[in-house]
């Protein structure tokens, strides 16, 4: 099924934020911050993989993703959809079905036996590939997959994350330097707005979350985490 309707961007972002709260995929905790793999301490955590467990929600989110890509990238810009190991794989299958395109998936590194493949599926040389992930913080994991596809002869000019942190300038620089246009549906700003609107937390927690979004590395440093983002 190919999506051909085009909801307003702000509406899509707000609805995705509401969905994430509804399925309890988002967590705020300023008292006991979460530690990311990068070493950043944060009062926010999100698990977009939970979207897969709710059929009506995941179908709507795929509609939003298809709409965003067709409007902002074009209708005939891709030859296949690639999902990154592991969370990107099911979303790649869903999006490929929406857009009527083949799907491949990319390992974080070659599997080390058999054909020692890093890319699974059929990708022709010169194929225009869209890479999808459930979320991206600063783009590091997405570029692991992009670099592998490019090394195998694919062309990657676009990537999509259903959720983009949108708080690290380094992320924008990474995508610009890598010559990839990043598409996304919602960011932490929309999630925070819904938390405020629905009064999901006390004022202090919401203020701490906003302070983190405004200056994440400074907030991390004050709470025992790293003060620099390694690219």
> What structural domains does the chain harbor?
9-222 (3.40.50.2020)
- Buried b vs exposed e over 12-42: b needs ≥16 C-beta within 10 Å? bbbbbbbbbeeeebbebebeebeeeebebbb
Is pLDDT above 80 for 229? no
Chain centroid offset of residue 16 CA: 12
- Average pLDDT, stretch 171-199? 96
Q: Which two tokens stand for residue 32?
A: 């006991």
pLDDT (0 to 100) of residue 115: 60
Is pLDDT above 80 for 84? yes
Residue corresponding to tokens 């490929």: 96
pLDDT (0 to 100) of residue 231: 55
- Average pLDDT, stretch 42-47? 97
Residue 112 — very low, low, confident or very high, per pLDDT cuts 50/70/90?
low
Q: Write down the mean pLDDT value for the chain.
A: 94
185 closest CA partner among 99, 94, 69: 69
Distance CA 104, CA 96 (A): 9
| Residue % of the chain over a pLDDT of 90 | 87
pLDDT (0 to 100) of residue 110: 82
How long is the chain?
A: 231
- Average pLDDT, stretch 138-162? 95
- Average pLDDT, stretch 170-182? 94
pLDDT (0 to 100) of residue 166: 95
Is pLDDT above 80 for 230? no
pLDDT (0 to 100) of residue 38: 85
pLDDT (0 to 100) of residue 4: 73
136 C-beta neighbours (distance < 10 Å), count: 27
Is pLDDT above 70 for 3? no
pLDDT (0 to 100) of residue 1: 58
- Average pLDDT, stretch 34-46? 93
Query: Contact at 8 Å (CB) between 89 and 210?
Result: no
Question: What is the pTM assigned to this prediction?
Answer: 0.93
- Average pLDDT, stretch 62-79? 96
pLDDT (0 to 100) of residue 116: 55
């Amino acid at each position: 099924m190919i999506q051909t309707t085009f909801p307003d961007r702000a509406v899509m972002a707000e609805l995705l934020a509401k969905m994430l709260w509804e399925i309890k995929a988002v967590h705020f905790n300023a008292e006991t911050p979460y530690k990311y793999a990068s070493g950043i301490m944060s009062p926010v955590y999100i698990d977009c993989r939970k979207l897969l467990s709710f059929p009506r929600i995941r179908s709507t989110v795929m509609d939003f993703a298809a709409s965003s890509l067709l409007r902002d990238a074009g209708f005939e810009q891709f030859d296949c959809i690639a999902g990154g190991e592991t969370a990107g794989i099911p979303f790649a299958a869903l999006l490929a079905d929406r857009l009527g395109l083949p799907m491949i998936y990319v390992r974080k590194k070659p599997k080390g036996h058999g054909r020692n493949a890093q890319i699974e599926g059929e990708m022709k040389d010169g194929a225009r590939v869209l890479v999808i992930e459930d979320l991206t913080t600063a783009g590091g994991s997405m570029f692991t997959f992009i670099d592998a596809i490019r090394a195998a002869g694919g062309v990657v000019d676009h990537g999509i994350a259903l959720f983009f942190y949108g708080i690290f300038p380094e992320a924008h620089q990474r995508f610009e330097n890598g010559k990839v246009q990043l598409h996304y549906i919602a960011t932490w700003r929309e999630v925070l707005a819904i938390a405020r609107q629905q009064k999901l937390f006390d004022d202090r927690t919401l203020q701490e979350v906003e302070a983190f979004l405004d200056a994440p590395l400074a907030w991390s440093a004050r709470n025992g985490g790293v003060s620099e983002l390694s690219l």
